[in-house]
Amino acid sequence: MAETMEDYKEELEASFRKINEGDMVSGTVIGVSEEEVTLDLKYYAQGIIKKEDLSNDPGFQMMEEIHPGDVITATVVKTDDGEGNIKLSKKEANDILAWEKLKAYMEDGTAISVKVAGIVPSGVVAYVEGIRGFIPASQLALSYVEATEEWLGREVRVRAITVDESKKKLVLSAKVILKEEEQEEHNRKVAAMVPGTVMEGTVESLMPYGAFVDLGDGISGLVHISQISQRRIGKPSEVLSVGQKVKVKVLNTNDNKVSLSMKALEEEMVDTDRPKQVEEYISHENASTNLGDLLANIKL
């Protein structure tokens, strides 16, 4: 078969292409050793990235995280490293590209899995795209974490909440994800509640407009002041106190909020306790009980 110019397209492009120091190039990994990564740049020379030029993350495991076939973008440090290869730095390229990725992660609300790599005052450190990020102790869990050293090495799902390239500031939060998950679980439980159900709960707080009742399993509901009693009251504390056990009826679960009533149960009790009216028996026959009628039936 006759060879055509198309067969040499890549070689021709490589021969005309010029790579300069400072350029950003992409290549396919064709070799990984303990000391360096070798890239095919579709160029007459191969690219070499030394271990120290791969990542800022001190916990980065080159042999585990980079494999033949991976595509890596790096910055040209030298066009000849003395052995005919092009010396590259992924760290330098990363400093340029990573911040753009981090901004996109923050804008999209992307959840990122990170490993806690270090403990610092009032928080921990984790790396995202090779960039050092700070997770405050107040953002590690739903409540403030005192013993941050217990988190070293743990995998955590986080979101980027501050991305400031000019100040090289990256702040991450696990709490925002946990709060969303907690809210979703709460909404699921509320949606499963059937209006009309009678439940027992504990008064957890009193407000001028009503009482909040803890129904257990993380669910609270509001008994509006108009639903506390059949009689008119000025404030909930007239008939309720914090810690008091009460029976309530579920009115509705609109907007994932539980509305309760004590008055509805009172009304039901009144209906149940009300004595049934004795039906008056009316005979259509003439009822005669006078002495004359009685004597008429007696034969002397």
State the pLDDT at residue 5.
55
Q: In sequence order, which residues have a C-beta less than 8 Å from that of residue 297 and are 6 or more positions away?
A: none
Confidence of residue 283 (pLDDT cuts 50, 70, 90): very low
State the pLDDT at residue 152.
95
State the pLDDT at residue 274.
53
State the pLDDT at residue 266.
84
The answer to which of 30-34, 152-156, 296-300 has the lowest mean pLDDT is 296-300
CA distance 217 to 229: 26
Q: What is the mean pLDDT of the chain?
A: 86
pLDDT exceeding 90 applies to what percent of the chain? 64
State the pLDDT at residue 279.
45
Each residue of 111-155: pLDDT tens digit? Answer: 999 999 999 999 999 999 889 999 999 999 999 999 999 999 999
State the pLDDT at residue 59.
79
The answer to which of 5-14, 96-105, 145-154 has the lowest mean pLDDT is 5-14
Each residue of 248-277: pLDDT tens digit? Answer: 999 999 999 999 999 999 877 765 555 555
- Which of the pair, 126 or 299, is modelled with greater confidence? 126
- Residues paired with residue 211 on neighbouring β-strands, in sequence order: 206, 223
pLDDT average, residue stretch 93-100: 86
Confidence of residue 293 (pLDDT cuts 50, 70, 90): low
Confidence of residue 19 (pLDDT cuts 50, 70, 90): confident
Confidence of residue 185 (pLDDT cuts 50, 70, 90): very high
State the pLDDT at residue 3.
57
Structure-block tokens of residue 139: 């953002």
Please count the residues of the chain.
Answer: 300
pLDDT average, residue stretch 173-190: 95
Against a cut of 0.75, is the pTM above it? no
